[in-house]
Amino acid sequence: MSAPPVYLDAATAAPLHPVARQALLAALDDGWADPAKLYARARRARQLLDAAREATAQTLGVRPDELSFTPGGTAAAHSAVLGGLAGRRRAGDTLVHSAIEHSAVLHAAQRHVADGGTAVSVPVDRLGRLDRDAWSAAVAAPGVAVAALIAASHEVGTVQPVAEAGAACAAAGVPLAVDAAQVVGRLPVPAGWSILTASAHKWGGPPGVGLLVVRKGTRWESPWPADEREAGRTPGVVNLPAVVAAAASLRAVAADAAAEAARLAPLVDLIRARVAAEVPDVEVVGDPVERLPHLVTFSCLYVDGEALLHALDRRGFAVSSGSSCTSSTLRPSHVLEAMGVLSHGNVRVSLHRETTAAEVDRFLAELPQVIAELRAEAGVVGL
Amino acid sequence: MTVPAELLDCRGQRCPLPVIAVARRLPELPVGTVVRVLADDPAAAVDIPAWCRMRGQEFVGRITGPDGPGYDVRRSV
Ligand SMILES: Cc1ncc(COP(=O)(O)O)c(C=O)c1O
């Protein structure tokens, strides 16, 4: 029990990037005033906010006035969906979304349906890839206000055909909202969207900062009570020190993204190959090629997901799971369900800039024994 | 309409228990036999068909009856 802990849950929250930490500490001293006020301190805060917006917009390749900071990725996704629906209510009341959206998008969809609207879920295949024909048909149907597609699955890593899905939306005159929370800071942002969202703690920024980008010309209307801040898109004062840290760290990770992807993707390949070879009765899920560079998911037959997380935690490994017993609702992950893959004994491993090959190796060395022990305890060996 | 030869009552059990129950029982029965697993854990709807795929057994289908959801599995190997 002397080995140091190994954090493998970057898809939930990446460790704070040193640049974020530095910028956060500096901005705590310098950026606490309200940027909207008319005195020297406020002007300083305004400068910091403007600079953060410009740097972030530049990294994303968007205009600064298209970008608003939100209190996180969830809030950004809610705004993207509900604001897209509100802005196009005259065109119709249907929301089209993939079956594997983040719960933030699905909860916004539920709200829309509860308010009398319609939501159409488009299926994915066994690898978690969008059904392109079903998507094109769904967005071309009458009455579609907005469509939502996750850029890459936060649960299984499969990258979605955003450009193609966006082209189908454009042909139908439907704006596309893309949840790029797992992509921003790791892969180039795909083309084809009208509304884009992201979350800073996925790239090493602080928690509680999200990005909402609404392309010029997109019909989008704030679903929240009126507020002037952030171009009227996000109510409330922004957490300026966190925003400054998010912007600084995004610039740093974007500069390193290609090299990081090239370093992490082979580690993910290694996990995929060795888990499949060395753990009996395991299903490694998600697209093996069109995938995020840092994330891999697998399910172990006859193993209780919660027991597996605890056993790994006891050995110092922090991972995530989509198994029903690990969720507060006691339902399996809707993503695994939509793909039709085994949902129990599920583990998601996600790597980050501090992850070393030695840590991955230790995880791979210990995992087969952890699973064998759990199976022995449950009396399911040889089934 | 399939008539199951045997009923495995796994109501109240959480996954992976219903899957383990069918994995224990099915190989003891002759090839061609259909077993119905009653399971109210929503994960069973995903995991029983997935188990059949991984083990080369036939997932016949899901039924909804007065006893809640049931999953028919035919031993094919
Ligand atoms: C794809 C995706 N969208 C949205 C979110 C929500 O972001 P946040 O944690 O900042 O609310 C997450 C993180 O859980 C995510 O992975």
Report how far ligand 1's centroid is from the alpha carbon of A321 (Å): 15
Question: Which is it for the CA torsion A46, A47, A52, A57, positive or negative?
Answer: positive
Pair A312, A176 in one domain: no
Q: How many domains does chain A have?
A: 2
Q: What pLDDT digit, counting tens, does each position of B51-74 carry?
A: 999 999 999 999 998 888 999 999
Cα B33 from chain centroid (whole Å): 12
Q: Is any ligand 1 atom within 6 A of the Cβ of residue A321?
A: no
Q: Tell me whether residue A88 is in a domain.
A: yes
Residues A170 and A265 in one domain: no
Residue A213 pLDDT exceeds 90:
yes
Q: Is residue A124 assigned to a domain?
A: yes
Mutate to test the interface with A, among B46, B48, B59, B62 (most CBs of A within 10 A): B46
Contact A344 B45 (CB under 8 A): no
Are both A306 and A186 inside the same structural domain?
Answer: no
Is the peptide bond preceding residue B49 cis, with omega within 30 degrees of 0? no
- Name the residue with the closest Cα to ligand 1, atom 16: A154
Whether A59 and A177 map to the same domain: the answer is yes
What is the pLDDT averaged over residues A194-213?
98
- A242 and A175 assigned to the same domain: yes
The answer to whether the CB of A66 is under 6 A from ligand 1 is no
Tell me which of A154, A211, A239 to substitute to probe ligand 1's pocket, judged by most ligand atoms within 8 Å of the beta carbon: A154
Question: In chain A, pLDDT over 90 holds for what percent of residues?
Answer: 96
Domain assignment of residue A299, yes or no: yes
Q: Are residues A285 and A228 in the same domain?
A: no
The complex's ipTM? Answer: 0.95
Coil, helix or strand at residue A379:
coil
Question: What would the DSSP string read from start to end of A102-134?
Answer: -HHHHHHHHHHHHTT-EEEEEPB-TTS-B-HHH
Residue A383 within any structural domain of the chain:
no
pLDDT at A2 over 70: no
Q: According to the model, what pLDDT value does residue A77 have?
A: 98
Looking at residue A229, what is its pLDDT?
Answer: 95
Residue A341 has pLDDT above 70, yes or no: yes
Select the residue of B45, B47, B54 nearest A344 (Cβ to Cβ): B47
| Per-residue confidence band for B19, with pLDDT thresholds at 50, 70 and 90 | very high
Structure confidence by residue, pLDDT tens digits, A11-31: 999 999 999 999 999 999 999
Residue A130 lies in a domain: yes
| Residues A261 and A227 placed together within one structural domain of the fold | no
N residues, chain B: 77
> Does residue A185 sit in the same domain as residue A288?
no
pLDDT band of residue A326 (cuts 50, 70, 90) is confident
Q: Is the CB of A10 under 6 A from ligand 1?
A: no
Q: How confident is the model over A333-360, as a mean pLDDT?
A: 97
* Residue A315 CA from chain centroid, whole number: 27
Domain boundary among A252, A270, A299: A252
Active site residue A300: no
Amino acid A328: pLDDT: 75
Distance from CA of B61 to the nearest CA of A (A): 14
pTM above 0.95, yes or no: yes
- Domains (range + CATH), chain B: 6-75 (3.30.110.40)
Choose between A184 and B68: higher pLDDT. A184
Provide the total of helices (H) and of strands (E) in chain B, helices listed first.
2, 4
Q: Are residues A69 and A138 in the same domain?
A: yes
CATH code of residue A348: 3.90.1150.10
The last residue of one of the domains, among A218, A252, A286, is A252
Same domain, A60 and A103: yes
B54 shares contact with chain A (CB less than 8 Å): yes
| Parent domain of A147 | 18-252
Residues facing residue B61 across a β-bridge: B72
C-beta of residue A213 within 8 angstroms of C-beta of residue A180: no
Statement to judge: residues A230 and A278 lie in one domain: no
CA distance B3 to chain A (A): 25
Residue in A with minimal Cα distance to B42: A331
CB contact (8 A) between residue A383 and residue B16: no
A144 domain residue, yes or no:
yes
> Which element (helix H / strand E) includes A283?
strand A282-285
- Domain with A163 in it: what CATH number? 3.40.640.10
Q: Is residue A1 part of a domain?
A: no
On whether both A301 and A348 belong to a single domain, the answer is yes
Work out the pLDDT band at A362, boundaries 50, 70, 90.
very high
Is A1 a residue whose pLDDT tops 60? no
